[in-house]
Amino acid sequence: MRVLVTGGAGYIGSVVTAELLARGHDVIVVDDLSTGHADAVAPEARFHRAGVTQLSDVLGDWSVDAVLHFAAKSLVSESVQHPARYWHNNVTGTIALLDAMRAHGVDRIVFSSSAATYGDVSDMPIYEDAPTRPTSPYGASKLAVDLALADYARAYGLAAVSLRYFNVAGALHQPDGRSYGERHATETHLIPLALRAAAGDSEPLSIFGTDYPTPDGTCVRDYIHVVDLADAHVRALTAAIAGEHQIVNLGSGSGYSVRQVLQAVRAVTGLSVPVRDASRRPGDPARLVAANTRALALLDWRPTRGLDAMVSDAWAFTRR
Ligand code: UFG
């Protein structure tokens, strides 16, 4: 299959690109490099530096079979301060992409949606039919695209899958020695920050909230290995059905608290993680755990790598 990957120079996009190539697909990456890194794109992929609103030529020049759409802004707190960036980039940008796809007869898309579309949910685990009440413009922008995809599928016959990620972590280490992982200029995620603190490269890690109604008082999240996530994307490419929009959660079905993650970081690295208790981070729900039965039913997908593998692969990536 010839696949166009938007945002293929970012964390998840670069891992999925490498996995697609390893499975024999032909990959064209587009990325505006606003947050991605050109050297994160596997050399076997064709690379175009462009934004998602500038894809008409690329779609016209190459007979693309499907689009994997990762390009987006993805910082929850930035989205609260600068919602216009999120509505323009994530929503207007995606509509422009969908219209360019229509114009060029490309009728298959897998979209990076998010658990942030659900917001603060009380019933765990979260099924795909749970109410969607996003608590940030980031989550709202992902939900808006999910709604647009449903309309485009129904009216224009698009085959669309929205994959709603829970907490993605880990890195891809290929047998040829190349690695793909997380290197955000602005890092907000727990595992990379805990690894930096363990390595002594940063201030102590702040634990955001120790008074949540959870067993140890810290937030519980559902972590999923980026290589498992990539596998789900490859499966979704073929599972997408013309005229249908399918929403699929990607998580492990198990939750780990912040303190449990820090324990895994200590166990894997053999280092202590300096921490300090801090106040709650605005907008953080106490608990987010995915129901992943639909991923099994539709994609025959199940997670194969646990928290220790995520931490050790991320640690190996950081040390390179
Ligand atoms: N945390 C800390 N200290 C830190 C960083 C994080 O205690 O320095 C805690 C957070 O409060 C949270 C947990 O670690 O309880 C995980 O935080 P992350 O920032 O790693 O991930 P989030 O759960 O906030 O975010 C993830 C995705 C987002 C998505 C969101 C949906 O990364 O893209 O889930 O809720 F929007």
Q: Pick the catalytic residue from 138, 152, 165, 223.
A: 138
In this prediction, residue 262 carries a pLDDT of 98
Cα-to-centroid distance, 176 and ligand 1 (Å): 32
Ligand 1 center from residue 20 Cα (angstroms)? 28
pLDDT at 176 over 90: yes
Q: What is the mean pLDDT of the segment spanning 72-84?
A: 96
Measured distance CA(181)–CA(253) in Å, rounded: 23
- pLDDT attached to residue 63: 94
Given a cut of 90, whether residue 18 has pLDDT beyond it is yes
Q: Is the pLDDT of residue 109 over 90?
A: yes
254: left (phi over 0), alpha (psi -120 to 50) or beta: beta
Model confidence pLDDT, tens digit, residues 194-220? 999 999 989 999 999 999 999 999 999
Q: Could you tell me the pTM of the whole model?
A: 0.97
Q: Is the pLDDT of residue 320 over 90?
A: no
3, containing H or E segment: strand 2-6
Other residues' Cβ atoms within 10 Å of the Cβ of residue 192: 22
Whose tokens are 């064209």? That residue is: 28
Tell whether the model's pLDDT for residue 282 goes beyond 90: no
Residues 140 and 97: their CA atoms lie apart, in Å, by: 18
Residue 283 is predicted with a pLDDT of 83
Report the pLDDT value the prediction gives residue 5, as an integer from 0 to 100. 98
- What's the rounded mean pLDDT across residues 222-243? 98
Examine the pLDDT at 144 and tell me if it is beyond 90.
Answer: yes
- Domains of the chain, start order: 2-169+224-250 (3.40.50.720)
Mutate which of 168, 212, 219, 288 to test ligand 1's pocket (most atoms within 8 Å of Cβ)?
A: 219
Which pLDDT band, with edges at 50, 70 and 90, does 255 fall under? Answer: very high
Q: What is the pLDDT of residues 178-199, one digit of tens each?
A: 999 999 888 999 999 999 999 9
Extended strands (E) in 154-286: 159-165, 167-169, 172-173, 179-180, 205-208, 220-221, 223-225, 245-250, 256-257, 275-278
Is residue 169 in contact with ligand 1, taking CB distance under 6 Å?
A: no
- Average pLDDT over the chain, rounded to an integer: 97
